[in-house]
């Protein structure tokens, strides 16, 4: 069977499962199996695929048909023009999180900063920031030992071991240390909304990194309260938040002596991030 027929058949199967990205997913999976770029495959669609590779392709396709995210099947995801290892113990990096990295990178360009990343997961936020803010160092913390293994491998992959340290720790256990920047993409989905998430999220991504409690703000509130104690004078707190949480989170920040200096909008013009400065 040639590449064209494989892609066509797989795409139809994925489409029948209401997977909108059916064609591109088929191409990506075949690209993985053949060890070629999608572009190489698309210019050689009539090339026959060996049976061994077809069987491997069908195994990966079966996983995607079960709604397992492409990133977990490939064990990697691109973020900030870098490829990061991901697995079921880490959230999959999202494009909207890059918008927060972009804004912080602009704000701290040519500056020196000591950065704390709370709930670091793959380490993609911290590693990306440190690749842009050249004279800086950072600490990434997470309560998941398995996620930290992934973060450390990503630090090695991107030559960041001398700039970053990953620790298994809750942010409530951080003492006697002051940071210029605290960044976090905390759990912010309301408990009663967890079951309404798409299958590829609710069945595969770690619940501990998604569930923000009854109002979705449990962890966000705790991060804000803790940040007051461990930020330097005029330090910045950058939070990714859920859609429609902007007003509530803003009130909590202002009540805790933070001044909002930047609002981050996603590609659909929804407020998805807040950067605020601590006023002593």
CA 14 – CA 1 distance, rounded (Å): 19
Mean model confidence pLDDT for the chain = 94
Q: Per residue in 174-208, pLDDT tens?
A: 888 899 999 999 999 989 889 899 999 999 999 99
Q: Per residue in 87-120, pLDDT tens?
A: 999 999 999 999 999 999 999 998 999 999 999 9
**Residues in the chain, total:** 280
DSSP string, the chain: -BHHHHHHHHHHHHHHTT-TTHHHHHHHHHHHHHT--HHHHHT-TTSBPPHHHHHHHHHHHHHHHTT--HHHHHTEEEETTEEEE--TTSPPP-HHHHHHHHHHHHHTTT---EEEEET-TTSHHHHHHHHHSTT-EEEEEES-HHHHHHHHHHHHHTT-TTTEEEEE--GGG--S--EEEEEE----B-GGGGGGS-HHHHTTS-GGGTB--TTS-HHHHHHHHHHHHHEEEEEEEEEE--TT-HHHHHHHHHHTTEEEEEEEE-TTS-EEEEEEEE--
Neighbours of 31 (CB within 10 A): 18
Q: Per residue in 58-92, pLDDT tens?
A: 999 999 999 999 999 999 999 999 999 999 999 99
CA 263 – CA 271 distance, rounded (Å): 7
Region of residue 187 (left: phi > 0; alpha: psi -120 to 50; beta: else):
beta
User: So where are the chain's domains?
Assistant: 3-66, 77-278
Q: Which CATH superfamily is domain 77-278 in?
A: Vaccinia Virus protein VP39 (3.40.50.150)
């Amino acid at each position: 069977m040639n590449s064209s027929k494989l892609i066509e058949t797989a795409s139809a199967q994925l489409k029948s499962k209401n997977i909108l990205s059916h064609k591109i997913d088929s191409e990506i999976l075949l690209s993985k199996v053949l060890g070629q770029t999608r572009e190489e495959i698309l210019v050689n669609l009539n090339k026959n695929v060996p049976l061994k590779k077809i069987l491997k392709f069908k195994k990966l396709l079966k996983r995607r048909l079960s709604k397992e995210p492409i990133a977990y099947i490939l064990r990697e995801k691109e973020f900030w023009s870098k490829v990061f290892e991901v697995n079921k113990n880490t959230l999959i990096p999202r494009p909207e999180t890059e918008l927060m990295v972009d804004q912080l990178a602009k704000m701290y360009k040519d500056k020196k900063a000591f950065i704390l990343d709370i709930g670091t997961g793959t380490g993609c936020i911290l590693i990306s920031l440190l690749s842009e803010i050249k004279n800086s160092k950072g600490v990434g913390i997470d309560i998941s030992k398995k996620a930290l293994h992934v973060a450390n491998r990503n630090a090695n992959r991107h030559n960041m071991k001398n700039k970053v340290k990953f620790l298994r720790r809750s942010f409530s256990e951080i003492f006697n240390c002051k940071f210029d920047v605290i960044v976090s993409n905390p759990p912010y989905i309301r408990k009663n909304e967890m079951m309404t998430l798409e299958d590829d999220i609710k069945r595969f991504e770690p619940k501990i990194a998604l569930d923000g409690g009854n109002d979705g703000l449990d962890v966000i509130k705790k991060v804000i309260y803790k940040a007051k104690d461990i930020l330097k004078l005029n330090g910045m707190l950058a939070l990714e938040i859920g859609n429609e949480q902007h007003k509530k989170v803003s009130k909590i920040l202002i009540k805790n002596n933070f001044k909002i200096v930047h609002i981050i909008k996603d590609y659909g013009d929804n407020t998805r991030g807040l950067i605020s400065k601590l006023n002593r």
